[in-house]
Amino acid sequence: MNRNDLKHFLLSFFSSLKDKAAFNAGIRPFYNLVFALKKELPVSIPLLREMAAIAIKQEMDLQKKDSFAGSLAWKIDRCYYRLCRVQQELGSLNFKKAAPNTSPEDFVFSQIDFSRYREIPEKTFEGLFLEGISDFSGGFFKSNFGLAAEEINPLIQASYKKTDGQYKIQKENPVILSVMRNLETSLENKSLFNAAQINMELKNLLDFVGAGMPDETGLLYPLLVSSLDNVHITHEDGTKTRLFVSGKEELSGTFQPEGKAWTRVLVNRDEQPPRPAHTVLN
């Protein structure tokens, strides 16, 4: 398919979304096109490519080395890992061992094993702690550590040295230990994706074919969210997480850390763009 054909298809697809029947038919034609586009083409749409791959397959197996494991899948995997750590720590707490007059908060803090951050396997260090920085907003780092998001990576890199497949801390201090602790256990991660990211990739795609942004592109976002409904993610330990869309048009996931069910909102409705005035969703 040449660029003119791509342009015609995209403009026709977005225009068709104004029709209720076409809108309800879903996003599959758009995903088929994105999935078929060669990665070598000079167009940056990594998020749309990954969403297309996941939605079309309706599953993502992170156990397989040849699986398509892009940023979206690994964000979900990191969320699962953090829930596992929280569940492990909750399961190990025994408040009967708390000293008299000790508050629950102080007892929980006293049980934290900060020594685990002295030496971290390469895969965990790079995948959870370095890549995991992007899972949180700038406001998260500012409010918790008084640091901008772009200061976190250099701080971690300067605090650790890689030796024989392990990253070893060079000098412990409360700030770096607190940063590592939060990156491993905080559940305050931001949405998997938002409207601004989608719009940027749509613009890249439409610029590539020589087309402007149709008004109807705003109708695409709820379709993208709903396309991940009932997708299953298989984590490296074999545990499955099911994604689902709630009645509030939020994308959530039901995780099973340590065999305990946790439901987390992964894409907030508040981060979706307002619907165009001519929307046909009612």
Q: What is the model's pLDDT at position 193? A: 93
CB 219 within 8 A of CB 273: no
Residue type, 172: E
Residue 152 belongs to a domain? yes
The rounded mean pLDDT for the chain is 86
DSSP class per residue in 48-106 = HHHHHHHHHHTEEETTSTTS---HHHHHHHHHHHHHHHHHHHHHH--GGGSPTT--HHH
Q: What is the pLDDT of residue 111?
A: 74
pTM confidence score: 0.87
CA distance 198 to 185: 28
Q: Which residue has the tokens 């990156």?
A: 183
Structural domain containing residue 77: 71-185
In three-state secondary structure terms, 273 is coil
Q: Judge whether 258 lies within some domain.
A: no
Cβ neighbour number for residue 74 with a 10 Å cutoff: 19
Does residue 183 surpass a pLDDT of 90? yes
The answer on pLDDT for 196 being more than 80 is: yes
- 79 confidence band (pLDDT: 50, 70, 90): very high
Distances (CA, A) of 266 to 57, 196, 201, 232, 251: 20, 16, 20, 14, 6
Asked if residue 25 belongs to a domain, the reply is: no
Checking if the pLDDT of 268 tops 50, the result is yes
Direct distance between the N- and C-terminal alpha carbons of the chain, in angstroms, rounded to an integer: 35
Instruction: Provide the token pair at 68.
Output: 């398509």
Q: For residue 170, is it within any domain?
A: yes
Number of separate domains in the chain: 1
Flag whether 8 is in a domain.
Answer: no
pLDDT at residue 277, as a whole number: 36
Among the ranges given (21-30, 144-153, 173-182, 200-209), the one the predictor scored with the smallest mean pLDDT: 21-30
pLDDT at 229 over 80: yes
Half-sphere exposure at residue 105, Cβ-oriented, CA atoms within 13 angstroms: 0
The two three-digit tokens of residue 53, written as one number = 């791959």
In a domain, 118, yes or no: yes
User: Hey, which of 11-15, 100-104, 144-148 has the most confident mean pLDDT?
Assistant: 144-148
- The three-point CA angle 49-53-56 to 5° equals 130
The stretch 196-212 carries a mean pLDDT of 92
Q: Which of 243, 249, 248, 247 is nearest to 263 (CA)?
A: 243
**22 domain-assigned:** no
Asked if residue 96 belongs to a domain, the reply is yes
Structure tokens at 118: 């002295």
